């Protein structure tokens, strides 16, 4: 039986949704009240294609919160445990956001557009309200709003060549986690060297629907020589690469140390951010859980809810957060939150699913 999604102002498509439907998208999920495509053919086919060629992803669900004004830099620093005091215009920063308890609110890329103007590209949570709440409490002089931006990701080993053909040779000088403005058909686009894959690529931030659709269509007009296909963030590829997904692998009940974000937590300088004192206490006491990779002797697992991980004595030692069949390993790979005492490489465990025990072992992230 087919399941249909009823669209409304509360659950909307993107400027590219109609294009995706014509190109044969098979399924969507929901992020930030918007439709995110998840499958065109199969995760395995798309995995192999992504690693060999180039794909274009509609990731407009990555909403962008713009923060500007006299106190914008102070507000941004209050929101993240990463030290941004030496940040530079033209760079983007992976910057976990934390609340007063040290719990992770989100793990966005933060773009420094101007000295007092920032963009926060968010995953699935209410960062807009978080930022407005802090600004109101602190009486900051800032403007905070959701920018009217829709993002296309160009991902895969052939991404540089196809981007060069569309935007010119200058795009080849763009470094990882840097951004600049490039022109196509007399319209300027903010483009960053970034993306939710380990295959390399770019993210194009479009702010004009007509221009965005024109650009999308042009990619496919010239894309045949690069074997360009529409795609989506690929579940097995991102799990193997150790790319965490907020809301699945981690949430507000996890702290940055549990998630391996130690290098993004500055507890020693004089910067101030929410949760700093609590994170100091957590670091001093030591974490109780840690994000780890897992390999599971199966070809299919439904992780719509977290699955308890058991040791060989049937004690719960963790929770499976994400999982997908890996064409590389010919088994399920996953991301799990494991009790610290059991975070040993090759530690054996089992899952109980439908009264059957499935075996697996713990491994590092990324999974190689």
Binning pLDDT at 50, 70 and 90, where does residue 98 land? Answer: very high
Is there a single domain that holds both residue 274 and residue 316?
no
Q: DSSP for 177-230, please give it.
A: TBEEEEEETTEEEEEES--SSSS-EEEEEE--HHHHHHHHHHHHHHGGGGTEEE
Q: What is the CATH number of the domain that holds 158?
A: 3.30.1360.120
Asked if residue 192 and residue 311 are part of one domain, the reply reads no
Are the beta carbons of 227 and 53 closer than 8 angstroms?
yes
Predicted confidence at residue 9, as pLDDT, reads 81
Mean pLDDT of 31-48: 94
Q: Of 287, 320, 352, which one is at a domain's C-terminal end? A: 287
Q: Across all residues in the chain, what is the average pLDDT?
A: 96
- 162 and 279 share a domain? yes
Average of pLDDT values for 36-43? Answer: 94
60 found inside a domain: yes
Cα–Cα distances (Å) from 328 to 40, 46, 368, in that order, read: 20, 13, 9
Residues 354 and 230 occupy one common structural domain: no
According to the model, what pLDDT value does residue 23 have? 97
Residues 6+ apart with CB under 8 A from 4: none
- Looking at the structure, do residues 183 and 57 belong to the same domain, yes or no? yes
- In total, how many domains does the chain have? 2
* Same domain as 66, residue 189: yes
pLDDT tens digits for 286-344?
999 999 999 999 999 988 889 999 999 999 999 999 999 999 999 999 999 999 999 99
Q: Are residues 333 and 278 in the same domain?
A: no
User: What count of Cα atoms within 13 Å lies in the side-chain half-sphere of residue 3?
Assistant: 3
In terms of domains, do 310 and 185 share one?
no
For residue 211, give Cα distances in angstroms to 148, 184, 187, 189, 214. 13, 9, 7, 10, 5
User: Would you call the peptide bond into 352 cis, given omega within 30 degrees of 0 as the criterion?
Assistant: no
Query: Does pLDDT of 17 surpass 60?
Result: yes
Q: What is the pLDDT of residue 295?
A: 98
Q: 4 falls in which pLDDT band (50, 70, 90)? A: low
For residue 1, the model assigns a pLDDT of 42
Residue 193 has pLDDT above 60, yes or no: yes
**pLDDT above 50 (res 153):** yes
**Percent above pLDDT 70 for the chain:** 98
For the residues 356-366, what does the mean pLDDT come to? 97
**What average pLDDT does this structure show over 350-361?**
94
Q: What are phi and psi of 142, to 5 degrees?
A: -145, 155
DSSP string, 285-329: H--SEEEEEEEES-S----SS-EEEE-TTS-EEEEEEEEEEETTT
pLDDT for residue 124 = 64
- Model confidence at 2, pLDDT cuts 50, 70, 90, reads low
Q: Is residue 262 part of a domain?
A: no
Q: Tell whether the model's pLDDT for residue 18 goes beyond 70.
A: yes
pLDDT (mean) for 134-141: 98
Mean pLDDT over 125-137 rounds to 93
> How do residues 244-300 score in pLDDT, each as one tens digit?
999 999 999 999 999 999 999 999 999 999 999 999 999 999 999 999 999 999 999
Question: How many residues in the chain?
Answer: 368
**137 with 194, same domain?**
yes
- In this structure, are residues 179 and 192 in contact, taking their beta carbons and an 8 Å threshold? yes
pLDDT reported for residue 5:
75
| Environment class of 85 (CB within 10 Å of its CB; exposed 0-12, middle 13-18, buried 19+) | exposed
Q: CATH number for the domain including 322?
A: 2.40.30.110
pLDDT above 50 for 119: yes
The overall pTM is greater than 0.85 = yes
Residues 314 and 188 in one domain: no
Task: Report the phi/psi class of residue 330: left, alpha or beta, with left for phi > 0 and alpha for psi in -120 to 50.
Answer: left
Say if CB 364 and CB 294 are below 8 A apart.
no
Segments forming the whole domain that contains residue 303: 288-363
Question: Which of 258, 287, 316 is a domain's end point?
Answer: 287
- Shared-domain flag, residues 276 and 304: no
């Amino acid at each position: 039986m087919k399941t249909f999604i009823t669209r409304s102002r509360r659950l909307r498509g993107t400027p590219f949704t109609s294009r995706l439907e014509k190109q044969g998208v098979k399924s969507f999920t929901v992020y930030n009240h918007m439709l995110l495509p998840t499958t065109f053919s199969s995760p395995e086919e798309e995995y192999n294609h992504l690693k060999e060629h180039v794909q274009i992803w509609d990731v407009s669900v990555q909403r962008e919160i713009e923060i500007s004004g006299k106190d914008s830099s102070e507000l941004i620093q209050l929101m993240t445990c990463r030290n941004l005091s030496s940040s530079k215009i033209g760079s983007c920063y992976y910057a976990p956001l934390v609340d007063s308890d040290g719990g992770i609110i989100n793990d966005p890329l933060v773009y420094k557009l101007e000295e007092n103007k920032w963009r926060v590209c968010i995953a699935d949570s209410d960062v807009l309200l978080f930022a407005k709440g802090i600004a109101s409490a602190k009486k900051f002089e800032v403007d905070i709003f959701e920018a009217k931006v829709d993002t296309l990701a160009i991902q895969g080993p052939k991404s540089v060549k196809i981007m060069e053909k569309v935007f010119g040779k200058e795009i080849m000088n763009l470094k990882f986690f840097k951004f600049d403005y490039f022109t196509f058909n007399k319209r300027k686009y903010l483009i960053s060297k970034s993306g939710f894959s380990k295959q390399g690529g770019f993210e194009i931030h479009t702010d004009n629907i007509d221009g965005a659709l024109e650009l999308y269509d042009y990619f496919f007009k010239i894309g045949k020589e690069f074997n360009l296909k529409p795609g989506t963030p690929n579940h097995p590829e991102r799990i193997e690469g150790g790319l965490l997904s907020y809301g699945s692998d981690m949430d507000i009940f996890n702290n940055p140390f549990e998630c391996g974000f130690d290098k993004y937590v500055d507890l020693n300088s004089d910067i101030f951010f929410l949760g700093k004192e609590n994170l100091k206490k957590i670091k001093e006491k030591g974490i109780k859980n840690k994000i780890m990779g897992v390999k599971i002797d199966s070809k299919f697992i439904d992780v719509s809810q977290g699955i308890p991980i058991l040791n060989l004595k049937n004690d719960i030692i963790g929770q499976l957060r994400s999982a997908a069949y890996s064409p590389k390993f010919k088994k399920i790979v996953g991301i799990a939150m494991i009790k610290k005492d059991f975070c040993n490489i090759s530690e054996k465990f089992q899952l109980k699913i439908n009264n059957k025990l499935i075996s697996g072992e713990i491994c590092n992230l990324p999974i190689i």
